[in-house]
Amino acid sequence: MIEVKHLYKSFEDREVLKDINTVFEDGKTNLIIGQSGSGKTVLMKNLVGLLEPTRGEILYDGRNFVSMSKHEKVMMRREMGMIFQSAALFDSMTVLENVMFPLDMFSSMTLRERIRRAQDCLDRVNLTGADEKFPGEISGGMQKRVAIARAIALNPKYLFCDEPNSGLDPKTSLVIDELLHSITQEYNMTTIINTHDMNSVMGIGENIIFIYEGNKEWQGVSSQVMGAENPRLTDFIFASDLLKNMRRIVIDNGLSL
């Protein structure tokens, strides 16, 4: 579990995050949503230590990440997995070598053990037999699955995903969503997903945090989105006339999502 308490972040005289208080739960897909420039990316960067909060606390199972020493933060990051928006695979490495990279860097396993662990992770994301291919030889969806395999190679307690469905078609996006959801439950990880994808919000939004102009405007689950009474959230979720009409029909007829 990750707790955020009274978190602020400013850049010179511009306050980007304003008194954020929230909890990201174990074994659930926690989604951060909001329009571009709302502060959600800044929030995630604070969570993983790429930015330092102006003030506030970030507690990883009770451990205050903000007040840790540099060495303690390095050790803490070994408990984190990260999936980048572009997958960020090494083009000159094979799929297997990409997944082995964090093991080579941070584990004390033998070469045989590292290979076996990497292969197990590839099996888990349904990429058996792709070991010797290079990133340029596989599809975008497969690249994202390699990135997921690499992110879980060290068996992290916390998994961070920055727009994991970016650039993918809707069908492939659903596959990635289901994979992230099942892995989160299987390993009881605290998974945090920064996303614009409304299919993700409705499909795997077990804990949703909506950020607007640096403030946490709303928190809930996907089943509550349709009936949410926060006008900024509904304007964001139901941006098109089609979605607004769909929401109206659901509410008028007492239907559930």
| pLDDT tens digit sequence for 71-82 | 999 889 889 999
Asked whether residue 96 falls in the same domain as residue 30, the answer is no
Asked whether residue 103 falls in the same domain as residue 35, the answer is no
What tokens were used for 1? 């579990």
- Count Cβ atoms within 10 A of the Cβ of residue 119 and give its class: 0-12 exposed, 13-18 middle, 19 or more buried: middle
Asked whether residue 61 falls in the same domain as residue 126, the answer is no
Instruction: Specify if 214 maps to a domain.
Output: yes
Instruction: Specify if 212 maps to a domain.
Output: yes
- Region 171-191: mean pLDDT is 93
Instruction: Specify if 182 maps to a domain.
Output: yes
In the listed set 155, 180, 212, which residue is the last one of a domain according to the structure? 155
Q: What pLDDT does residue 219 have?
A: 95
H or E element that contains 5: strand 2-11
Asked whether residue 170 falls in the same domain as residue 67, the answer is yes
In the listed set 132, 155, 178, which residue is the last one of a domain according to the structure? 155
Number of domains in the chain: 2
CA atoms within 13 A on the CB side of 165: 23
pLDDT tens per residue, range 126-170: 998 899 999 999 999 999 999 999 999 999 999 999 989 888 888
In the listed set 133, 155, 177, which residue is the last one of a domain according to the structure? 155
Model-wide pTM > 0.75:
yes
Instruction: Specify if 98 maps to a domain.
Output: yes
Asked whether residue 136 falls in the same domain as residue 182, the answer is no
Q: Does position 229 have pLDDT exceeding 90, yes or no? A: no
- Region 198-225: mean pLDDT is 91
Instruction: Specify if 228 maps to a domain.
Output: no
Domain boundaries, position 60: 1-79+158-223
What tokens were used for 38? 């709302």
